[in-house]
Every structure is written in C-alpha cells, then in structure tokens.
Amino acid sequence: RETDCRAAVERVVSELGRIDVLVNNAGGSSERASVVDSDPAKWAETLAVNVLSVYYCTRAALPHLVRAGRGKIVNVGSGVGHAVAPGNAAYSTAKAGVWMLTQVLAQEVWPHGIDVNEVVPGPVLTRMTEGVFRTDAPPPFSPSERVKPPEEVAELILWLATRPPGG
C-alpha cells in the first residue's frame, strides 16, 4: 500500500537522516493461467505486488533523493518481463511494467543525479521458489540457466548501488 511505502521511507529518513539507495525487490504471482482462464482478482494482486509497490516506494523516496541531488534506485525485474511467457501473462505483464517504469524513471531523474537500473537475475532460490528450484540444477523452464542464491544477486545490487553517479 502507498501509505506503508511512505511510512517505511519516512522511518528510514527519520532514523538515518537520509536515503541514498532504494532497492525495489518485490515480486511473485499466484496466477499461472492463460489470459482466458485467469482470475481477475489474482491479476490485480500480481500487478499490485510487482508494479504498484515499485511505484509507491519510488514515489515516496524520490523527494528525498531529489533534494539530496544524488541517489540510486535498483528495481529487481525478471526475464519474463522481456519475453513472452504463455500461461504466465499476469507476472510477465507486471514485470514488463517494472522494466518500462525503470526506463522512464531513469530519463526523468538523471538530471537530479539519480541513477535508475533494473537487475534481471534469472532464477533465484528463495522461500517462494524452493519447491521448484535447486541451486545444483537448472530451473525446469530453462536448461541453460543457473539457479542463484540470493546473496549473489545482492552482490550485483550492491555493486550498482556503489557506482559513481552516472555509472
């Protein structure tokens, strides 16, 4: 919810004095169906979790980042937001929205010294995926991929967050 995102950002600023980096790492979907067989409520939930959360948190952080004249925003995307995934339209559409929001936002805020990037880590072993993925085997949908531990993705995000402005 928008109010939760604003409260979280305000708490960070209150406790730490500023915000330098925003990582939008929400994701997931309980909707795995073709569009014709999909549940509209699950679609709305998927869009809220994946796109609206990024928008709400970013919108809450932006005034602080703009005022500081610097900052980093890293959005965690998905390969299915860049390619067709039949039977997974809700999640694909939502992550495509994150991809586009990342691009638009990057163009809007670079004059303020704020860098915006999307990380597309591929399959990651998390509590949500542990029933499907193993780190010692490729994911079932892509034999050429490698399942990564979350720490590996965190290292990439940290690298992006610590680059010089414009880097």
Q: What is the DSSP string of 75-113?
A: EE--GGGSS--TT-HHHHHHHHHHHHHHHHHHHHHGGGT
Q: Catalytic residue, from 91, 102, 109, 157: name it.
A: 91
Question: Is 91 noted as a catalytic residue in this protein?
Answer: yes
Cα angle vertex 35, ends 30, 31, to 5°? 0
Q: How far apart are the first and last CA of the chain?
A: 31
Q: Using an 8 Å Cβ cutoff, are 74 and 58 in contact?
A: no
Q: What is the largest CA-CA distance in the chain?
A: 49
Question: Catalytic residue positions?
Answer: 91
